[in-house]
Structures are given as structure tokens and as C-alpha cells.
Amino acid sequence: MRRLVPLILALLLAGAAPAAADSVTVPNSEVRVMHARDDGREYRILVARPAGPPPPAGFPVLYVLDGNAAFATAAEAVRVQGRRPAATGVAPAVVVGIGYPTDGPYDDTQRIRDFTTPADPTKLPPRPDGSPWPANGGADAFLRFLVEEVKPAIARDFPVDGTRDALFGHSLGGLFVLHTLFTRPDAFRAYAAISPSLWWNDRAILEEESRFAASAPPPGRRLLIAVGGLERQRNMVEDAEALAARLSRLGTLQVVQRTFEGENHASVVPTALSHALRATLGPAP
């Protein structure tokens, strides 16, 4: 009998042990791998779609940069607020996160390459951690991948309305959003640039702005420029507000500008997201 005690005790403990917990997932979502035709670089494309049937023209689409970090937040915001569009101003939408093959929220090396125009690293400000700047200047190649490969794949596989799509980006991602608007304004119907890094490469984005303003921009585009009130480094707040004011004066863009007091460079993202949904995918003002 004494020999059976350890066995009986082990069996009892095994029976009392909690079952392995299931992973938390975003409902109605999937992950697919895509490789850019230009250079074979790998991307994780995360997609969430509404549970209900699409409207006759299809769902609007929100494309989210830094998908590893922002996709789940964006997808849940759309899922919750899209249940009552008349009250929230947010329609059910497909959310597409453009991410990287990493388990971390960011891949600094790849995002710096993808979201920037060419710059001399010796003329850039020091990085926060003091490390050297990685390769940069891949914005146009990444934009081709996004517009010519990702968007057609989403249009092929999901019931989406190609006339109601928006691009959301933060920090260098916000810079890329503006680069897209200024150089390929027809790529998306709406744009959300959160805490855009206008300082990049001695504010070279302002040259793109000037060319855009002189080129008779297409009407009907929406733009949200948002920044946290605590982002006082590199003139982030003042530059974002001034850019929005200049673009508003063009008369062809529907510009919304928000400065969120009490928010910093990281906390502004979830704060700005709901505003971005309403500003870019909500009913026309």
C-alpha cells in the first residue's frame, strides 16, 4: 500500500492541475506571409474582418503600419465601435496590419528602412539608445509593395470597398503616411498621420509638401494629423499643428488636427486611434 501512495498522490495532483489555457486571439482574424517582389523581404499581413455580411459595396479597409504593435488594438476598436455605427461614427471595416516576422511589437531595423526617404546617417540626430542608424530610404519600395501587392491581395480575398480605404501610421509610420499622401495621393482615400517624424532628414518631407500643394491635389481626400501634448521634443507639437493649418488652406483636403493633452509619444497611439477611425472612415462631414 505504501508503494501505491506516491502513485495515487501523483494522479490526484495531475487531476487537480489546471488545464492549459487557450491563447487569446483577435476574432475573425488571420495571419498570412507575403514576400515583396522587389527584394523578397518577408512581411506578416494580419487581417481582421467583421463577422456580419458586407454592405453592397463592400467593407471599408483600414491599413495599419507597425502591425505587430497596433493591429490588435485597431481591430478591437473597429469590432467594438462598429457594432453601433450610428452612435460611434465607425462603420464595420476590414483591418489590415502590415507587420514583420518578429514576436516583438516593433522591428526597428525594418521599419526605419521601410518608412523613410534616403538620408545621410551622419546628419541624423542621435538615436535614443545611442546605437547607429540602420539602413534607411526604402519608403518608395515599401509603398510599391503596399499598393501593388498587399492591396490587390486584400481586394481579391475579402469583400472590400476600394473607394473607402485609409492608411494609419505613427512616428516614422506617420512620416510614411504623409509621404504617401504627398507622392501618391490616389493610393488611399484617407490618411492618419500620428506623431509624424517631420524632423527626418532636415524636414525633407516639407519639400514633398510644397510639390504636393503646387500640383492641384485631388479633392475628397481626408487627413488626420494628431500628436500628444507632451511631445515637446524636436518641435513635434508645433510642427504638426502648423502642417495641418497649411494643408487646410489648400481647400482640397478634409483636414482634422488633434493635440491630445497629457499624452506622450507612446500613449498617443490608442488615444488617437478612435479619432482616426471617425476622421478617415466615418460618414462624410
Active site residues: 171, 231, 265
At 159, list the grid cell: 469583400
Going across the sheet that includes 160-170, the strands are: 29-35, 42-48, 94-99, 59-64, 160-170, 190-194, 221-228, 253-260
Residue 60 near residue 166, CB atoms below 8 Å: yes
- What is the number of H-type helices and E-type strands within the chain? 11, 8
Amino acid 151 reads K
> What's the rounded Cα separation, in Å, for the pair 64 and 96?
6
Total count of residues recorded for the chain = 285
Cα–Cα nearest to 46, from 111, 116, 110, 94: 94
